[in-house]
């Protein structure tokens, strides 16, 4: 049903929703670039000041020779630290993109996904939901809240899996050859499920459920959540281009598929 969502949006005159994903990811990419530059420059400036404060000069020749040698070491360390900081920041931002980008997408696109779910609901059931400005703020707050809750749940489960992996490595040793891939697959499955839960929350909202009931209802439909989340996670896993492709192929088509499944409960189309 995810793939057929593209044709469905065209058929129902809802293709304009496709523009939301690229617009949001371009904004996030620009913010990421500025954040990386700011963090790199701040750390480098702080390090240089610390190293300069650590340099000193002596009063006699022996102390002067030692001071010059120490200052040379500090200058060398400063030159080496610059590129270490730069690469550390790049890796940090990359990790943030992998773990946080999907929830930033959900948070920012929450009003759009809610509006899309409402339009799909209208197309499937004939029940039209009128737009109100107060609902826009409510959608943003709900999107932020559900994103934070799901992110924390994912991080807690991810930490539990990480601790389990370390424990297994310590006690099981060679068996980690088998346990390692299992834990990796479990971690990927957890991330996929929670993205599906975030997508379905916009749909459940149109069904009248609050965010707590949304999480409980999602578990009852975990197969659908995992199926949609798996598609998004596989796209996100594409090196470098993953977040950009996911913004285009993730939230809007997945929300469309989720809304069709929810508001057309007797549908037999494959997910």
Please tell me the total number of residues recorded for the chain in this structure.
271
Q: Is the pLDDT of residue 18 over 90?
A: no
pTM of the predicted model, to two decimals? 0.71
**H helix runs in the chain, sequence order:** 4-11, 20-54, 61-125, 133-171, 176-206, 211-220, 222-236, 242-249, 251-263
The token pair that represents 21 in the structure block: 């994903």
pLDDT value of residue 215? 93
- Residue 32 pLDDT level (bands cut at 50, 70, 90): confident
Neighbour-count burial of 144, counting CB atoms closer than 10 A to its CB (0-12 exposed, 13-18 middle, 19+ buried):
middle
pLDDT for residue 220 is more than 80 = yes
Higher-pLDDT residue of 237, 56: 237
pLDDT top residue among 107 and 193: 193
């Amino acid at each position: 049903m995810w793939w057929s969502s593209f044709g469905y949006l065209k058929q129902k005159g809802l293709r304009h929703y496709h523009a939301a994903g690229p617009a949001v990811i371009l904004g996030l990419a620009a913010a990421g670039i500025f954040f990386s530059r700011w963090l790199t420059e701040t750390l480098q400036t702080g390090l240089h000041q610390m190293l300069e404060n650590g340099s000193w000069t002596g009063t006699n020749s022996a102390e002067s020779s030692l001071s010059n040698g120490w200052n040379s070491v500090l200058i060398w360390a400063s030159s080496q630290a610059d590129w270490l900081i730069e690469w550390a920041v790049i890796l940090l931002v990359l990790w943030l993109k992998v773990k946080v980008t999907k929830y930033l997408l959900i948070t920012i696109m929450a009003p759009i996904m809610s509006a899309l779910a409402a339009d799909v609901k209208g197309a499937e059931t004939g029940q039209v939901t009128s737009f109100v400005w107060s609902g826009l703020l409510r959608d943003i707050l709900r999107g932020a809240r559900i994103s934070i809750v799901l992110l924390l749940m994912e991080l807690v489960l991810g930490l539990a899996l990480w601790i389990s992996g370390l424990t297994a490595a310590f006690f099981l040793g060679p068996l980690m050859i088998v346990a390692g891939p299992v834990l990796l697959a479990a971690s990927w499955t957890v991330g996929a499920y929670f993205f599906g839960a975030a997508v379905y929350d916009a749909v459940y909202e149109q069904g009248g459920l609050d965010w707590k009931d949304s999480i409980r209802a999602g578990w009852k439909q975990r197969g659908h959540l995992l199926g949609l989340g798996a598609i998004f996670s596989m796209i996100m896993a594409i090196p470098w281009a993953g977040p950009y492709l996911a913004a285009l192929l993730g939230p809007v088509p997945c929300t469309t598929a989720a809304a069709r499944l929810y508001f057309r409960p007797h549908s037999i189309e494959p997910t």
